[in-house]
């Protein structure tokens, strides 16, 4: 019984990831990036990975997912790291990272247009764009839980 201290037997749905979607565009032209490979990885007490490709308008959408658990943890939930990676031919890979110290977030991050940097851009131009990217979201409108 000592192992159950701080836990309650109560089947419930625990969030794995919120719905995450947006549109991939070229940082140079603003045109949609079609067929880009996107990978969403979630690491907490369990790890999950999902893959998809952007459509003809550069759009992508990962559905919100929950996982059924038997135990409800009364103490702090485990840390959660969510990584979104976008790769397309002719562009540099783009990585977006969100972390939460108290379980995986349930609120959708407002990504909007995610700019992919052309492969031929030098590091200085790419760094200038990424310095203003706020980890791919508008941090003023999104907070993790």
Domains: count for the chain: 1
pLDDT reported for residue 51? 96
110 belongs to a structural domain = yes
Of 140, 97, 96, 126, which is closest to residue 26 (Cα–Cα)?
126
Evaluate whether residue 124 is within a structural domain: yes
| Distance from C-alpha of 46 to C-alpha of 27, rounded to nearest angstrom | 34
Whether 66 is covered by a domain: the verdict is yes
C-alpha atoms less than 13 angstroms from C-alpha of 105 in its C-beta half-sphere: 18
What's the mean pLDDT in 1-10?
A: 49
Question: At CA 39, angle to CA 38 and CA 44, rounded to 5?
Answer: 150
pLDDT at 13 over 90: no
Q: Is residue 42 part of a domain?
A: yes
CATH number at residue 67: 2.60.40.1120
In a domain, 5, yes or no: no
Which alpha helices (H) appear in 1-145, and where do they start and end?
A: 123-131
Q: Per residue in 100-133, pLDDT tens? A: 777 777 677 778 889 898 988 766 666 655 554 4
Determine, yes or no, domain membership for 3. Answer: no
- Is residue 2, in this structure, part of any structural domain at all? no
> Distance between CA 35 and CA 143 in Å, rounded?
30
**Range of 82's domain?**
11-135
pTM over 0.85: no
Question: Cα Rg for the chain, rounded, in angstroms?
Answer: 18
Question: In the Cβ-directed half-sphere of 56, how many Cα atoms lie within 13 Å?
Answer: 0
As a dihedral over the C-alpha atoms of residue 34, residue 86, residue 42, residue 59, rounded to 10 degrees, the angle is -30
CA separation for the pair 43, 77 (Å, rounded): 13
């Amino acid at each position: 019984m000592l192992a159950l201290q701080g836990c309650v037997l109560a089947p419930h749905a625990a969030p794995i990831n919120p719905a995450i979607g947006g549109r991939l565009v070229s940082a140079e032209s603003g045109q949609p990036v079609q067929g880009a490979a996107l990978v969403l990885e979630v690491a907490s007490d369990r790890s999950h990975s999902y893959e998809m490709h952007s459509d003809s308008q550069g759009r992508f959408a990962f559905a919100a997912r929950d996982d059924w658990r038997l135990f409800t943890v009364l103490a702090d939930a485990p840390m959660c790291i969510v990584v979104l990676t976008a790769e397309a031919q002719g562009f540099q890979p783009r990585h977006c990272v969100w972390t939460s110290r108290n379980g995986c977030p349930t609120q959708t991050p407002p990504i909007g247009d995610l700019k992919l940097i052309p492969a031929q851009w030098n590091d200085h131009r790419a760094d200038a764009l990424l310095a203003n990217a706020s980890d791919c979201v508008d941090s003023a409108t999104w907070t993790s839980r």
